[in-house]
Amino acid sequence: MAARQERGATLSCHSNMRRKKRSLPQSSVVGTIHTLRGFKLAPKADVDWCEVRVDLLPRPPEPDLLTGVKKPLILTVRREDEGGGLALAEEVRTELYREYLPFVEALDVEVRSLSAQESVVAMAKKSGRLVVASFHDFEGMPSLRRLRAIDKAARDAGADIVKVAAVTAAPRDVAVLLDFLDGAEGAVAAMGMGGLGRASRLILAKAGSALNYGWLDKPQVPGQWQAEEFAALLRQA
């Protein structure tokens, strides 16, 4: 309890922080932190951004872990049915987003949760943070028409960047993501998972995907690159 109160006091000191809105990233590599070890690797990692998966950590991180990364941060708190690691009540997720907002440059909220987290999205935008709205399909590749509808709904709800991750089992699946990226109304982060996941991530990053994710401490889904290896390959491509 004392640790929780101390963290809350530290967070409250920063609660009124407002920042000039960060420019939208362009073909940036994101290293995802899934474990406490990831915070040790992140400061020296040769990546542009880091994502903190609070829902996968054994406990909520102390603020100094976030500030110690020394890179722009994306805060993600997934529900269990969205691929998260914890069965978190919606109000708990809201509290976590609000608590850590002063220490990050962007929030990631699943598209299906945008309405439930409407107050968090509004707070993020008011304080100059970016809002990433994510859609994941772990079973296959949605149609281009469906992706366009998801994109519109997300932007109508306040998304600055729409992130789409879906299974790329065949070249036609990669083509769907390329078409989606090419015709999107705003910034998109597009990536494949599965058999052609790695190949798709290289292609989509070079084609203009705004955020391109890899792992820092451990892989989370099939088809991911280690983040620094990914960044090095993109520089050579």
Catalytic center residues: 136, 163
Helices 197-207, 227-236: inter-axial angle, 10-degree rounding: 50
Which residues sit opposite 109 in a β-bridge?
133
Residue 199 tokens, joined:
């190949």
In 10 A of CB 173, how many CB atoms? 22
Question: CA 84, CA 55: separation in Å to the nearest integer?
Answer: 6
HSE, side-chain direction, 13 A CA sphere, residue 2:
0
Residues 6+ apart with CB under 8 A from 176: 141, 142, 143, 144, 147, 166
DSSP string, 210-221: SEEEEESSS--S
CA-nearest of 65, 157, 73, 72 to 110 is: 157
Segment (H or E) for 107: strand 106-110
Instruction: Label the pairing between strands 130-137 and 28-33.
Output: unpaired
